[in-house]
Amino acid sequence: MAQYMTNAINTSPTRVGTAAADMKDVGGKAVKFDGDGNLVFCSTKGEKPIGIVTIDNDNEVKKYDDVTYQIFGVGVAVIGASVSAGTELTVNTDGTLAAAEAGDFVCGVTLSKCNANAVGTIEIVNYYKPV
């Protein structure tokens, strides 16, 4: 009997989930799981997302469509308000990102200055901003 040694850890920074509902303008927005384990946009400011939807998804997805999202590394996200390089980011109520405040979950740090309602380059991180 042969024995095989493998590395069973998948280090890919992206995952594929299922859309819980029809979604528009998905690329670069923060998502979370609903009660059934499907993806929905983050809807509470400062909450913890599961990831950021990659911009290679279709602009509109239908309920039960596959959605690719990024969980770590350098990626892009929609920034809801102008921020400078190095700004800690949290989620807005519409899945976009904004400057984090004390007690917010920080899901990204900008790697350059970002204009409002534009796509910016971020490092995806995971920690709470101290109160």
| Same structural domain, 78 and 118 | yes
The answer to whether residues 117 and 92 touch, using CB atoms and an 8 Å cutoff, is no
Of 70, 88, 107, the position where a domain reaches its end is 70
Quote the domain boundaries for residue 21: 14-70
Identify whether residues 19 and 61 lie together within a single domain.
yes
Assess if residue 7 is contained within a domain. no
Residue 30 lies in a domain: yes
Number of domains in the chain: 2
In a shared domain, residues 123 and 84: yes
- Pair (94, 53) in one structural domain: no
Say if residue 98 is in the same domain as residue 63: no
Residue percentage of the chain with pLDDT more than 90: 89
pLDDT tens profile 49-88: 999 999 999 999 999 999 999 999 999 999 999 999 999 9
Residue 107 lies in a domain: yes
pLDDT at 10 over 70: no
Rounded Cα distance between 43 and 93, Å, is 4
E strand residue ranges, the chain: 14-18, 23-24, 30-33, 39-41, 51-53, 60-61, 66-70, 73-79, 88-91, 97-99, 105-110, 118-128
